[in-house]
């Protein structure tokens, strides 16, 4: 699963720098939010590996509130399976 590139909210150009190469918009706040979401997804992966599915689910929910991604939904589905939440996991996998 390849993540969708982040896009400038002003001109929709994909970006990787703090200033949009097309329109010059300041994208640093968006990058900070995406980075915070990524850090939570990484912590959720570690929690799953340590057998703490409840903590993983909490972290990935926080991540999705910041930046909703297919990877985040898949990770949340894994946590839901680990917690025996079959219907929730199926719902999340349909969204991914
Ligand atoms: Zn732009």
Tens digit of each residue's pLDDT (9 = 90 or more) over 26-46: 999 999 999 999 999 999 999
Distance 73 CA to ligand 1 centre (A): 27
User: Does the pLDDT value for residue 89 go beyond 90?
Assistant: no
6 falls within a domain? no
User: Does the pLDDT value for residue 16 go beyond 90?
Assistant: no
Q: Which band of pLDDT confidence, cut at 50, 70 and 90, is reported for residue 4?
A: low
23 falls within a domain? no
Q: Summarize pLDDT for 40-80 with one digit per residue, the tens.
A: 999 999 999 999 999 999 999 999 999 999 899 999 999 99
Domains held by the chain: number: 1
pTM of the model: 0.81
18 falls within a domain? no
Distance 14 CA to ligand 1 centre (A): 8
Distance 83 CA to ligand 1 centre (A): 41
80 falls within a domain? yes
62 falls within a domain? yes
31 falls within a domain? no
Looking at residue 96, its pLDDT comes to 66
**Which CATH number covers residue 75?**
1.25.40
- Domain containing 61: what range? 38-95
- CA-to-CA dists, residue 39 to 2, 24, 66, 93, angstroms: 18, 27, 11, 22
Q: Where are the alpha helices (DSSP H) in 13-52?
A: 28-49
Bridge partners, residue 14, by sequence: 7
């Amino acid at each position: 699963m390849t993540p969708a590139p982040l896009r400038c909210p002003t001109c929709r150009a994909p970006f990787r720098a703090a200033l949009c190469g097309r329109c010059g918009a300041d994208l640093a706040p968006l990058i900070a939010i995406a980075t915070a979401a990524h850090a939570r997804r990484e912590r959720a992966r570690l929690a799953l590996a340590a057998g703490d599915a409840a903590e993983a689910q909490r972290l990935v929910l926080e991540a999705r509130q910041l930046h909703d991604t297919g990877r985040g939904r898949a990770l949340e589905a894994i946590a839901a399976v680990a917690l025996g939440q079959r219907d929730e996991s199926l719902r999340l996998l349909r969204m991914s």
